[in-house]
Structure 1
Amino acid sequence: SLQNAIKETLRTATIEPWAARCQDVDIEIAGHIIPKKTPVIQALGVVLHEEEKWKVPQRFDASRFEGAPQDQLAFCPFGFAGKRQCPGQDLALLVMGVFLATLCPKLKLQLVPDQIVTPTSAVITRPQDEVWVTLKKRLSS
């Protein structure tokens, strides 16, 4: 499905490599006390490619999202699971779906041949160099 392809794209692309937040209260995680106001960083780029959670994590496979829902801690491209997720997550997924459902039936998108896209991580992951694509109008049926 389109939604599964979007989710797998978010997982494999790792647009946001990490998320951070501070608790208002002291908390205990796995027997360790984390004092309030201590920054807690979640390495999303690691979790989204963890072999224990994702079979052959380097391979794009949208069928991973068919059937049972994914573990919220394994699939969290928008940051922390639960009530600390990005408030714009649902809107972002909706906009991606509408954009692709409108564009894909009309146009075929491809990377320019022999182009190598090298990701660069910072606050967000982006290509190191410009990415060139070709657009071809699909024939009407």
Structure 2
Amino acid sequence: MTRAHGEVGDPPVGKYEEPATPEAAADRVEDVLKLLEGRWKLMILFQLFGGRVVRFSEFERAIPGISQKMLAQQLRQLERDGLVHRVVYAEVPPRVEYRLTAWGQSLCPALDGLLRWAATRGAPAEGVSDS
């Protein structure tokens, strides 16, 4: 028997609308970045990308330096924000598994784009000269 944790957040519903002003766009991006704030959240997300299902103890082994308290806190926040889904199995000892929600998995291409963008730092831009 499984049950989903009761505090799972839902992804935003609605159609994307172009921000009316640069300020509105900046505010929206800032709100998104706040979801990812925290020393360990990106490490946790990258452990889950690709449809992986990870148990708490696996996170502890995969992320050296994170305390149990901090790991639990960051997972709860990601769950509350609708990025991570938590399933508790009624077993002894209890088994808890984490996976990305569909919305959380859809973040992967955006972060991949950021990695590609960061890799271009220092590379000469096409059509732009330094003189």
Decide: shared fold, TM above 0.5: no
Structure with the largest fraction of strand? 1
Q: With structure 1 as the length reference, what TM-score do the two structures score?
A: 0.26
Q: With structure 2 as the length reference, what TM-score do the two structures score?
A: 0.27
